[in-house]
């Protein structure tokens, strides 16, 4: 069992799958989609996962299962932020958007920011006039891209379910 081994010991695919809370076939599939995931392969193709491989698996699981990223979205996030950042997510390192300026990990922060804005049509010169659109900052763009990724994932899931 994985818990009996040293934290630095290599894990078989079944031990890695158990530790990452994923089926073994998902680990093999992710190897084909994420080039950064490279377990050692022994004779007969037997895979051995290093501790850093397990952390990367947990980070990918966080992105794909918890945050709702698509495979393409997770690949882009991994390319843009690196293996260390994704592995940190696997350790419970917060939200993938916590490094974006103005993005908070707490869901109430968006509501607080919204309530702090002046109402449309007021005399405040900084308010966006009714019918106009404000320029999108990096944090707003990151939030919209995240929502779009989740919507695309939901659409793809629905299509797949309908085809079954």
Give 4-73 as a DSSP string. GS-TTS-EEHHHHHHHHTS-HHHHHHHHHH-TT---EE-GGG-EEE-HHHHHHHHHHHIIIIIS---HHH
pLDDT confidence of residue 94: 65
Query: From CA 46, how far away is CA 148, in angstroms rounded?
Result: 38
pLDDT confidence of residue 17: 94
At 133 the pLDDT is: 58
Q: Is the CB of residue 27 less than 8 Å from the CB of residue 57?
A: yes
Domain ranges of the chain: 1-96, 97-116+139-164
Q: What share of the chain is helix, strand, coil (3-state, %, to 5)?
A: 55, 5, 40
Residue 98 confidence (pLDDT): 57
Q: How far apart are CA 27 and CA 31, in angstroms?
A: 6
Residue 82 Ramachandran class (φ > 0 left, ψ -120 to 50 alpha, else beta): left
pLDDT of residue 107: 39
pLDDT digits (tens, 9 = 90+) for 56-81: 999 999 999 988 899 999 999 999 99
Query: How many other C-beta atoms are found inside a 10 Å radius of the C-beta of residue 89?
Result: 24
Give me the pLDDT at residue 79, please: 92
CATH number belonging to domain 1-96: 1.10.1660.10
**Residue-level pLDDT, tens digit, the chain, 164 residues:** 445 778 788 999 999 999 999 999 999 999 999 999 999 999 888 999 999 999 999 999 999 998 889 999 999 999 999 999 999 988 876 666 654 433 333 333 343 344 434 444 444 444 445 555 566 677 777 777 888 888 888 888 888 888 87
| Cα 67 to Cα 80: distance, rounded to the nearest angstrom | 17
């Amino acid at each position: 069992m994985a818990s009996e081994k040293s934290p630095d010991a290599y894990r078989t695919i079944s031990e890695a799958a158990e530790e990452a809370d994923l089926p073994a076939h998902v680990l093999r599939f992710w190897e084909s989609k994420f080039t950064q995931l490279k377990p050692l392969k022994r004779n007969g193709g037997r895979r051995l996962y290093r501790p850093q491989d397990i952390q990367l698996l947990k980070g990918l699981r966080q992105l794909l299962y918890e945050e709702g990223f698509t495979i393409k979205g997770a690949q882009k996030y991994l390319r843009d932020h690196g293996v260390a950042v994704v592995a940190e997510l696997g350790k419970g390192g917060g939200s993938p958007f916590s490094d974006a300026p103005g993005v908070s990990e707490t869901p109430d922060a968006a509501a607080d920011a919204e309530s702090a804005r002046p109402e449309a049509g007021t005399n405040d010169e900084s308010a966006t006039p009714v019918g106009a659109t404000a320029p999108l900052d990096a944090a707003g763009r990151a939030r919209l891209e995240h929502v779009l990724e989740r919507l695309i994932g939901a659409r793809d899931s629905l299509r797949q379910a309908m085809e079954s």
